[in-house]
Amino acid sequence: MRYLKWKLSELGESGTGPEADLNAIHRISVGGYVDSDGYRIGYVPDLDISGIDAKWDVTEVSEADALAFAQAIWADAEIDSDGTLTSQPM
């Protein structure tokens, strides 16, 4: 699994994030976690992010970094055997 971290939007404007570009390359799964700076973790089995427009703040992170990101928001977050992040119960 490959993990990506990106800023959801620019200056809080809805729809100004890279999700459309990411989904055009490969349907990306997103975790239910967004930090206070507006960053989210998403994941795909495989993805070449070299084609992502440079205006977007998208970086690849390790599995450990993705887990640490989620656990900073919900301490019980885990990575399942399929590589996806568990979600906080509602």
pLDDT tens-place string over residues 1-10: 888 888 877 6
**Domain ranges within the chain, ordered by starting residue:** 2-73
pLDDT tens-place string over residues 40-89: 888 887 777 777 777 788 888 999 999 999 999 889 999 999 888 887 76
As a whole number of angstroms, the distance between CA 73 and CA 88 comes to: 9
**pTM confidence score:** 0.77
- Note every long-range contact of 21-29, with CB atoms under 8 Å and residues 24 or more positions apart, other chains counting: 21/52, 21/53, 21/56, 22/47, 22/52, 22/58, 25/49, 25/51, 25/52, 28/4, 29/84
